[in-house]
């Protein structure tokens, strides 16, 4: 371990007579490695990455294997961007140097050095791999350390993932599981070797009642994790068909990529047949028991039940205009009755409104949609027979 020092500048020092700034540098961070544009390896191997973009940019979209150790704060980034827009690159660079005092520079650089010691095979990236990457390297070089960058930055990594989504859904064979609401499509999907669970990536169960605590990823985060999942499928099972549950345009708020929506329109369908009783029970388990457990795990028993109640009512109201006023009032009344019974210790009444909602709303809606694409069904059956069909086709 070595200590390297930067010259103290009393003009910027808040305490007047501070000593020089000390950085801890290990031999690992002094070893030179080249910058990389091997995006596939970075993403498939979960190589640790430093995302040096501003916190707001990071929150709008990043990568699962990246941590945010920003070069600039949000306020600094905004000021510098505005200066660049009005006065140009030279003025923006000068402002950059004035905004960040030596002690803040030391703190941020030390964070990068700590990360580099913990992850000697990692990399860092900025937005586009240009000026800010060079600035990060300059700060590190002032300590005697070197840490390689991702060429092209986040923009290049994201572009690679978007190209992967387009390429895989345009060229790979696809089989689509379809079925009535509550049929257990996701459970079947997760039993299949080639299944891709988009609902898990979107953190949503797919129906109006399918929202989950923790919220959904941003559009960019959803696309990024989808792209990585496709890369992993491609590596593990090259040219093997993908099996995906059918969705129309989105999962919750997560918009499906155009290439996937187009693939859905022509892919062969596997129709999962499940009895109404089993579908009511499936919905009861997932949208009542599991949903309530998620709320209570985060908010406690009483507040969790109140949030659960609000969640169900909001979900029902979202489809109110499709149900019509009379049907909405009836279902709301049955839901209120079920919640009162539930709070008194009997949760079984939820099956009443679930069954009515399936029979009166979801089932007719699905049957109309299925009639338009029935000619694309290549197999239908129970979960076990569908699994056998898929497994047999993959072996061939």
Same domain, 114 and 197: no
Same domain, 101 and 178: no
Q: Which of 83, 126, 136, 283 is catalytic?
A: 126
Q: What are the structure tokens assigned to 8, written together?
A: 């103290």
Distant-in-sequence, close-in-space partners of 201: CB < 8 Å, separation ≥ 6: 217, 222, 225, 226, 229, 254
Let me know: does 108 contact 101? Beta carbons within 8 Å: no
Read off the pLDDT of residues 20-57 as tens digits, 9 standing for 90 and up. 444 454 444 555 799 999 999 999 999 999 999 999 99
Same domain, 116 and 260: no
Same domain, 202 and 314: yes
Same domain, 72 and 196: no
The answer on pLDDT for 6 being more than 70 is no
**Which domain does 74 fall in, by range?**
2-151
For 295, 296, 354, the CA distances from 285, given in Å and listed in that order, are 14, 15, 11
Read off the pLDDT of residues 233-260 as tens digits, 9 standing for 90 and up. 999 988 789 999 999 899 999 999 999 9
Q: What are the structure tokens assigned to 109, written together?
A: 């650089």
The mean predicted confidence, pLDDT, of the chain is 89
CATH code: domain of residue 60: 3.40.250.10
Rounded to whole angstroms, the Cα distance separating 369 from 377 reads 13
Rounded to whole angstroms, the Cα distance separating 294 from 204 reads 13
Q: Is 136 a catalytic residue?
A: no
- When divided into structural domains, the chain yields a total of 2
The predicted pLDDT at position 97 comes to 73
Is residue 95 one of the residues assigned to a domain?
A: yes
The answer on pLDDT for 3 being more than 90 is no
pLDDT confidence tier of residue 135, bands split at 50, 70 and 90: confident
The predicted pLDDT at position 28 comes to 46
Read off the pLDDT of residues 305-364 as tens digits, 9 standing for 90 and up. 999 999 999 999 999 888 888 999 999 999 999 999 999 999 999 999 999 999 999 999
Read off the pLDDT of residues 174-204 as tens digits, 9 standing for 90 and up. 999 999 999 999 999 999 999 999 999 999 9
The answer on pLDDT for 125 being more than 80 is yes
What is the radius of gyration, based on Cα positions, of the chain?
27
Tokens 């059918």 belong to: 246
Same domain, 147 and 179: no
């Amino acid at each position: 371990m070595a200590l390297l020092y930067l010259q103290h500048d009393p003009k910027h020092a808040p305490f007047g007579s501070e000593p020089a700034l000390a950085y801890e540098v290990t031999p690992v961070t002094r070893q030179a490695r080249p910058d990389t544009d091997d995006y596939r390896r970075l993403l498939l191997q979960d190589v640790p990455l430093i995302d040096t973009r501003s916190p707001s940019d990071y929150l709008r979209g990043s990568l699962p294997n990246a941590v945010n150790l920003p070069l600039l704060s949000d306020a600094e980034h905004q000021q510098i961007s505005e200066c660049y827009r009005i006065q140009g690159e030279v003025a923006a660079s000068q402002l950059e140097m004035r905004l960040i005092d030596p002690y803040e520079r030391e703190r941020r650089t030390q964070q990068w050095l700590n990360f580099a010691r913990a992850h000697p095979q990692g990399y860092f990236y900025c937005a586009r791999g240009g000026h800010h990457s060079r600035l990060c390297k300059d700060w590190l070089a002032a300590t005697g350390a070197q840490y390689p960058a991702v060429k092209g930055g986040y923009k290049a990594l994201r572009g690679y993932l978007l190209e992967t989504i387009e390429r895989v859904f345009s060229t790979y064979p696809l089989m689509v599981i379809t079925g009535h609401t509550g049929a257990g499509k996701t459970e079947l999907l997760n039993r299949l070797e080639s299944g891709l669970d988009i609902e898990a990536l979107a953190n949503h169960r797919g129906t109006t009642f399918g929202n989950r605590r923790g919220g959904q990823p941003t559009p960019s985060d959803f696309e990024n994790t989808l792209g990585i999942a496709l890369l992993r499928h491609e590596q593990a099972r090259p040219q093997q068909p993908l099996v995906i549950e059918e969705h129309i345009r989105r999962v919750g708020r997560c918009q499906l990529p155009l290439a996937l929506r187009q693939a859905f329109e022509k892919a062969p369908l596997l129709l999962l047949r499940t009895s109404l009783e089993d579908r009511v029970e499936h919905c009861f388990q997932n949208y009542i028991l599991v949903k309530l457990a998620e709320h209570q795990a985060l908010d406690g028993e009483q507040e969790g039940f109140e949030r659960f109640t609000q969640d169900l009512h909001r979900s029902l109201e979202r489809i109110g205009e499709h149900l019509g006023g009379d049907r909405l009032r009836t279902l709301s009344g049955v839901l209120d009755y079920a919640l009162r019974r539930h709070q008194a210790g009997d949760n079984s009444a939820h099956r009443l409104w679930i069954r009515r909602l399936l029979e009166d709303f979801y089932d007719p809606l699905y049957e109309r949609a299925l009639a338009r694409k029935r000619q694309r069904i290549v197999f239908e059956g129970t979960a076990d027979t569908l699994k056998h069909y898929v497994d047999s086709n993959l072996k061939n």
